[in-house]
Structure 1
Amino acid sequence: MIPKYNTAKGVDVIKCGLYARVSTDLQAEVKNGSLDTQIDLLQKYTEVKDSTSPEEEWKAVAIYREEGRSGKNVDRPEYQRMVRDIENGKINAVLCTRIDRVSRSIIDFLHFHEFLKENEAIFISLNENWDTSTPMGRFALTISLAMAELEREKTSERTKEKLQWRAEKGLRNGGQILGYDNDPDNKGVPKPNEAERELVLLIFQTYVKEKSFRATAQVVNEKGYRTKSYVSRRGNVRPGKKFNNTSIMRILQNQFFIGKIGYNGEVYEGQHEPLIPMELWDQVQAIIKTKRATGSKSRKQNLHTFLLQGLVKCGWCSSFMTPTYTNRPKKRYFYYQCTCKIHRGDKECKMKYVPAEPLEQVVVDRLIQLGEDQNRVEDLVAGATTDNSERVETLTQTQENHQRNLKSIDKKLDALVESIAGRKIGIKTIGQKIIDLEEQKSQIEQEMMDNEATLAEAKQKVVSVAHFRQKLTTFGELFNESTPEERKDLLQMHINQLIYTPDEIQLALFYSSSKADKTNSPANVNFGSGGGI
């Protein structure tokens, strides 16, 4: 039943909150794009309901524009603002164009639905024609969400089973790898690239001598070598880059070079030819193991490297938290402090100093845990792949729309030229129309040129996301061997943003915009209600 909010006229008031969401920043920035289209449809729906419901007054009292946010979780600013408005009675109806604009998770949406019922609010989705003020509407909603969730889980399970089967058969899962070329006649079994075989061997031999990822990368780069260059399936050239400690570490710990296939924590015999003898492999692994053990025991210095500098945000006021320190007898203490409190005082934000080392340690430990949790890594990679693919799809659609508009303008120009020949319209009139069309055409062509560069970058990110799995799973080993400055760089590579409150830390990783990882604030960071000292 629709909640009753009577006016002086005795008419029920339906206070509508219009919720619109797009998954990528690019969609949000497009003029008259997806966000504006959604809101326009919702406003028109509200106007129609108001004009056709004599006993109800429908008002659009709030608009929630969720720009560049995924619907896989509820950690969205506009969504949370909408929830607060429902609790405060500002709105008593939520309208959206499609159910997945509010949530892609059946669990999250069912919780939201219960929340709406508790606050006597209704939910309306235009595309599915769902109205939760009726029993049939609620039933149809639940069944449809359940079927969608089941299909997603089945697709994910089928993909994992296929990858597992390929690994057991000794077939490679993945794209290009240094030292090999993909064989179109024997997919999954790359053939050795003789020139790159020598480079892989050089990397292993150099590490035995230098005993350092960074030093090995420097030696290889000075000799003029670069990472693998190749042409993608779409015909794009992927040029080689300089080696760094991360790329060297991946090569030295990749069992593919000794004829093995690794998947989901298991190792299988591959069908491909190994490039590195076992004796050299074992020698390298022994050095890495020794370095890892000694690196974790490195002595602390009086000066502290703030590993999370530029990443930490205050969860209370959304300001950045900047590094600082205090001097005590015989010791210096390091902290992160809210910049809002520094510049505006306690009245604006009461977040206290947060000790740097315990905060940094809990973040490092969490990343190591994530890297060791194969299922979680796969979920993050799947989410990142979906988000980036959606961005590519949106950009591609924009280019196709531009192309159609150009064809339409060309047809109009041809028709005007024919009109001149047939003297059907005055020369002056036609001339002005041609000028207008040429200006439109020039503007569209410029937009296409700008969009092409953005699209190429987005496609590259879809490819790069495959490397994210390796980056996260090898994080702990690389971190332990790195210097403080290298550790800082490593964290900057993985973390997009960290939001701190005394009770919870939200960790947003690069490549994974769909969901922030959460963990409890450690006891030695959380001091009382203020979160610091």
Structure 2
Amino acid sequence: MTARTSPRVRCAIYTRKSSEEGLEQDFNSLQAQREACAAYVKSQASEGWTLLPEDYDDGGLSGGTLERPALQRLLADIAAGLIDTVVVYKVDRLTRSLLDFSRLVETFDRHGVSFVSITQSFNTTTSMGRLTLNMLLSFAQFEREVTAERIRDKIAASKARGMWMGGIPPLGYRPDGRSLAIVDEHAALIRHIHARYLELGCVRRLAEELEEGGIRAPQRTTTKGNAYGGGVLSRGQLYFILKNPVYAGDIPHKDMVYLGQHIAIIDRETWERVQDRLRANRQGSRSGARGTSSALLAGLIVDAAGQPMIAAHSTRGTVRYRYYVSKELHHARTKDGTRVPGREIEALVRETTAQLFADPWALVAELGIPPSPELIRQLDGTCAELAQQIRARSASPLRALLREVRVHGDRLEIALSRSALARLIGASETETGDAALVLWAPYRLTRSGNTLRLVQGDGARISAAPDTALVRLIILARQWWEQLARGETDITALAAEVGYSSSYVTRVVRLAFLSPKLIETVLAGRQHSRLSPATVRSSVEMPADWDQQEALFLVH
């Protein structure tokens, strides 16, 4: 009678340690966890358990996220069918998040993988085992959140006592224990910036003066030895310096400001005068958040000569028109330069970049990336999602891609970072090289009334969003035509009732007879630029025949 042989169970051990402390030792926490787990697997040899040779060790990584290299390798091997059981020392080595744990258990179940914690006895295949695990993970997550609250409270209490709690110190200071020490040569620049701002009264003029004088941000080095600084002081940097209460001897924390233990670089009287001037300059201006968020290409767009283009705007009535203008032209130093509408130029950049993701495999070939199995599985979905994000005016993925947008007379030159493209689609960036990927987008400038418009080379409007003014006119035209068709009124009486001239009402009513196909195009925002509210206001004849309308106003 032969003995029954247990089926082979392939076991993978996963270990993790939150901090890097002690990892340099000959025998560290990760090795201790692995030895204990290996001994447990060996004790189950009669059940067919065998230990896989691969190491899945994450040292110095928090359990609050699943973005850990060894854990991702473990999940990839599980998906590939290489593992039957995952063994850990404790549940919280795998994750401290209850939500993440539920996701991991779902992944394990989907691939028929069991899960064992050698110091906590349970079985994930039973409902009682799942309940036990959820209770343990709930306490682990509670402990993590309490620890985070305790740290936040300690930081708040320390700052209330005027202590410096770490981070990159402001220009002019260096860390000195739990305080800050003045760097004399940098402090002189800080005093100069505050004094010149009080004299000039304008951050823009201050930035120009510093740039013309060759004054740049001092080059500094982080505690890890990384160099930064050395560039031109931008207006954003100057605003940060002028508004930073640390220079007046204070320590900010959220909405509170406390008296600091460090020595002030700027005396209190000068500091208050600077703040009063900043507040006065802000009165009557629009929200800074609105301005910065709308200027998608700020710092990235140049004209054909390579001159930076400044984000500007003009207001007519209640309507705000945004532009990008060559720097010298904006400051009236020259009459030569380029001026393009902001909304349309940004929409053209978004649409041209989004179209790059329409053919994912052509993109991979262009980047020269060898397609891995993981990339093959996710490429189509990732590219579709990226295209959708870019078209939806999501600035972050687009700004991560853009190196430069150069405005030529009849086309845009859009330079994209190959390495950023590789990162976004989930591929390795080592094969992409440093050369930019250049896209070309033809356009031409037109005028709609007094407004400068930018359209594609084929005459189509740039923005895929519908022209709300034109849509409102179409709705109004149908309402007016219904009144006329029912015989309730005539053109003259209707014009008197609505307060427009008879000729204007007649021109608007023509929109009630647009072809269905043209209406759909208008609602999609893809009609030819010839069809606009300005067209309605003009005396241009609109054909009654639908084929003629579509020939005139559809993009072919």
TM-score when normalising by structure 1: 0.45
More helix by share: 1
User: What is the TM-score when the length of structure 2 is the normalising length?
Assistant: 0.43
> Based on CA coordinates, which of the two structures has the bigger radius of gyration?
2
